[in-house]
Amino acid sequence: KKLEAVRLMQRAEKMVRDQIRAKWMRAGVTLTDPPSIYIDADVEIAQDVTIHANTHLRGRCAIGEDAVIGPNSIVRDSTIGARCIVTASVIEEATVEDDANMGPFSHLRAGARIGKFTHLGNFAEVKNATLGARVAIFELAYRPLPVVRDREGGRIIAAHIRKSGAGLVLSQRVK
């Protein structure tokens, strides 16, 4: 009986997931491999978004128009702006403003905010910090500083970063 109940729940979950995917495809969202894409009921997706294979949109997410998410990405309880590209990355409780580009293998953790036209490359990680507009961090970087802004964005904390190379680690200086 237990195995029968598990199979029944699996069929019910598949039906609900199929209905959610069908709803978004009817609304103008492109799903490149629908069976491999998981979208929770609380997710909001704008028109002309493309979601690639093995992507999970979990919790309360909002995806902006013309964004491209995946393949192999996880977005949970986050906002992704219009025209963003998120490739093989994890975004958790974070905000990505319009026209930003992430990945592959970037990780935004709780409290991260990525500005417009900002690029995060391979293995970049941001937690509880803000990167302003037009910042580029290319690869293998960990970013725990609270704020980095571009020249037009005003005050800079610790250092001004326009382009950061491999192996960069920034952290607040303890006095």
pLDDT in tens, 109-168: 999 999 999 998 888 888 888 888 988 887 664 545 445 555 454 433 333 343 444 444
Start-end of H helices in the chain:
2-26
Q: What is the pLDDT of residues 51-66, one digit of tens each?
A: 999 999 999 999 999 9
Please determine, for residue 44, whether its predicted confidence score (pLDDT) is greater than 50.
Answer: yes
Nearest to 88 by CA among 100, 75, 105, 101: 105
Which residue has better confidence, 174 or 47?
47
- Whole-model pTM: value is 0.80
How does residue 171 score in pLDDT terms, banded at 50, 70 and 90?
very low
Are the CB atoms for 100 and 119 separated by under 8 Å? Answer: yes
State residue 74's pLDDT score.
98
SS3 assignment, position 8: helix
Q: What is the pLDDT of residue 147?
A: 52
Name residue, tokens 């990405």.
Answer: 73
- In this structure, are residues 47 and 77 in contact, taking their beta carbons and an 8 Å threshold? no
DSSP state letters, 44-64: EE-TT-EE-TT-EEESS-EE-
Beta strands across the sheet bearing 163-164: 30-31, 50-51, 68-69, 85-86, 101-102, 119-122, 136-139, 163-164
Distances (CA, A) of 127 to 13, 21, 42, 83: 33, 31, 24, 23
Residue 175 has a pLDDT of: 39
